[in-house]
Structure 1
Amino acid sequence: MVRGRAHALASAFGLYAELNWLARTRLAHPERWLEGRVFPQRAALLSVPELAALAHLPLDADAPGLRRAGARSVLPPPTVPEPAPGAGVKALGRSDTGARRPVGLAVADVRHHIHLMGATGSGKSTLVAHLVLDDVRHHRGAIVIDPKGDFVTDLLARLPDTCADRLVFIDPDDSHAPPCLNVLDGADIDVVVDNLTGIFRRIFTAFWGPRTDDVMRAACLTLLKHRAHTGQLVTLADVPRLLGEPAYRLRLIPTIKDPVLRGFWAWYESMSEPSRAAVVGPVMNKLRA
């Protein structure tokens, strides 16, 4: 057994075989050195990473005599509400320090960011599932985004039948019914245009100037005001048509009563074809992509 332990130690120290190298040697009477825990005269000083590589802590959580540092348990503040029927509080669990009591989170607070931390298998997905199911039972809206799909599959199996008529399932892998979203759809025209141009500005920050913003904003406002006047469906794909097809513009611009937009299109039509292409080029190449 001692010979095997010696070979194991020698193999472990074999990692350090570069400039500060170690070599094997035979001891005439190894019992005296081992029992006395005495270093030879030519001892070696180990750095912290080297020592950690040789004498690492055991990975087994049930190792006898090993005390691990963990998060300190504290009492929940008195302001943390308790879930109760009709109280508008979502249940989180029960406190494990002091007097055990249920703790929850107000529905209004759940609308803010919640960061759940824990190791794999500690119950993060289970807690999120309970929060979503609580919203479903109380007829509140909830959106679940799962990059892997396992959590959504488990959640679908636990949803009650009463929510089937208000359930929308979007699967990007489903080629038969691809999900679509009309970014120009909205009741408030100014808010829709502000949001859309803001998104483009953040995506193309280095290539988005005031003229590009003006052209994009004027085109979207024209399409939305035309929709409000005629009731026709407009999408983001109509912006290149509006900027590049004169016949399409002739059908839309006469319906616009806004003097600011009419002034923009008067200036747009007064430009030569090369000048117009230079103005709309930064918008067109991003919309084509």
Structure 2
Amino acid sequence: MIKIGFREMRGIRYPISIRLNDLLHHQYILGATGTGKSTLIANEIVQAFEENACCVVIDPHGDLSINIARAVNPGDLGNVYLLDPLKVKFSLNPLELPCYDSREIIVEKMIAEITEFFKKLYGVQY
């Protein structure tokens, strides 16, 4: 279970949790600036790592990635990959089609490339 917060009732704090499996179906986190959205995400990732789960974060601004790197246990940092497009040339364009006549070959090649990318990123377990 991933703890996402607390609720208070009659002076008693009760933890609110979500099953790790339920996080596989995406999240939609809303809140004004400074309300803890990034902190919530970082805490969820730290807890997911403790349960040996993998996480992918797409952070267009970079602030969240830094917060996550600071929050992750030092022993888990070896499993964190930061792809910074300003520092490392990186691209993955699923819409870029190779030059093949058969649609099946194109789909097969694209799936093979994406699978190979994730194997390199996450290791053999993927």
Same fold by TM-score greater than 0.5: yes
Q: Please give the alpha-carbon distance, in whole angstroms, between the structure 1 residues aligned to 2:104 and 2:36.
A: 50
1:178 counterpart residue number? 89
> What's the TM-score once normalised by structure 2's chain length?
0.69
How many angstroms does 1:180 deviate by? 4.2
SS at the partner of 2:40? helix
Match of 2:106 among 220, 244, 258: 220
Q: Please give the alpha-carbon distance, in whole angstroms, between the structure 2 residues aligned to 1:104 and 1:112.
A: 15
Q: CA RMSD in A?
A: 3.0
1:166 counterpart residue number? 79
SS at the partner of 2:54? coil
SS at the partner of 1:151? helix
Structure having the higher helix fraction is 1
Alignment-mate amino acid for residue 123 of structure 1: G
Larger radius of gyration: 1
Q: Does 1:105 align with 2:18?
A: yes
Q: Please give the alpha-carbon distance, in whole angstroms, between the structure 2 residues aligned to 1:159 and 1:129.
A: 8
2:54 counterpart residue number? 141
How many angstroms does 1:120 deviate by? 0.9
Q: Please give the alpha-carbon distance, in whole angstroms, between the structure 2 residues aligned to 1:91 and 1:124.
A: 14
Check whether the contact 2:69–2:77 (CA below 8 A) recurs between aligned residues.
no
In the alignment, structure 2 segments of 5+ residues that lack a partner are: 114-126
How many angstroms does 1:113 deviate by? 2.3
Check whether the contact 2:2–2:47 (CA below 8 A) recurs between aligned residues.
yes
Figure out how many residues of one structure are paired with residues of the other and give that number: 108
Structure having the higher strand fraction is 2
> What's the TM-score once normalised by structure 1's chain length?
0.33
1:94 counterpart residue number? 6
